[in-house]
Amino acid sequence: MTALRTVLGNVLAIYRRELQSYLASPLAYVIAAIFWLLGGFFLVVILFSPEGLLAQVARRDQVLQMGMTLPPLDVAYEFLQGYFGVIGSLSMFVLPILSMGLYTEERKQGTLELLATSPVMNWVVALGKLLAVVTFYIGMVLPLMLCVAIALGTAEPAVSPNLLLVGNLGLILLAASVLSLGMFLSSLTSSTVVAAILTFALVIFLWIVDALARAVPGWLGDALNHLSMLQHFNGFTQGILDTSSVVLFVSYGLLGLFLTAQSIEALRFQRN
């Protein structure tokens, strides 16, 4: 019982320190600002551009008034699909930058030696760090989520808020998985740039897997489909809360944690 409390206390200590270092970092604010700028821009494009959803609805209404029949258009659904597609892609560029410093900074400042000689398990440190960076990411997504909620609030017929919640849950799970693996990659090197490049490579790999999953027929395609994070993320954006998808993301997250703890342990055995 006390052991559990100690572990939780340590996770919290690491979490607080890490989150604080994000909040003290100018780079984090720059990233957030760019993320909001682009996210806001695409929201506007999706809704208000000449080819945007509102224009489509207006044209549709004209056609319907002329007495023609058209297949039904689920505006809210289309909107969410567009939004999550854009935010998902944007995130893929932002996540490597968020995770690149998680361990490289500790190695550069020599603080890894402090952590490694403190009575704290490696995975506790990793978990605290992961939670901190995920929290920062949620902080980045939150304002955009609010805009989307406002836009959806005007939809007619009214849209279930679950749709938005499930989609965002998927987004955060996807981000947590990528960040966790990115954290592992950052523990492999003491160069921040190398860590960022490795994580970008991972993201590109995810896209390739996703593309292959769509293109390759048969069992291989099926298998890739099951492993592809982006495929599972797509499920969430359609409002489908699938347990297997949650399990997959949590597994990727745990894999990242496990690999990070192992890689930090292995550092001890390297020649210095």
- What residues make contact with other proteins under the rule CB under 8 A? 6, 9-10, 13-14, 16-17, 20-21, 24-25, 109-120, 268-269, 271-272
Q: Which residue has the tokens 């609805």?
A: 57
Least distance CB 258 / other proteins (angstroms): 20
Residue placing its CB nearer to other proteins in the complex, 22 or 79 = 22
Closer to other proteins by Cβ: residue 84 or 103:
103
Task: Please report, in angstroms and rounded to a whole number, the separation of the first and last CA atoms in the chain.
Answer: 38
Which CB sits closer to other proteins, 110 or 157?
110
What's the closest the beta carbon of residue 21 comes to other proteins, in angstroms? 5
Distance, CA of 23 to CA of 147 (rounded, Å): 23
The one-letter code for the residue type at 83 is Y
Q: Would you say 13 or 255 has its CB closer to other proteins?
A: 13
Taking the complex as a whole, the smallest distance from the CB of residue 112 to other proteins amounts, in Å, to: 8
- Pull the structure tokens for residue 176: 């947590």
Q: Supply the minimum distance, in Å, between the C-beta of residue 209 and other proteins.
A: 37
- Per the omega criterion (within 30 degrees of 0), is the bond before 26 cis? no
Q: Which amino acid is at 58?
A: A
Size of the chain in residues: 272
Nearer Cβ to other proteins, position 105 or 210? 105
- In eight-state DSSP terms, residue 25 is -
C-beta of 185: minimal distance to other proteins in Å?
22
As a whole number of angstroms, the distance between CA 135 and CA 161 comes to 22
Q: Which two tokens stand for residue 228?
A: 């592809």
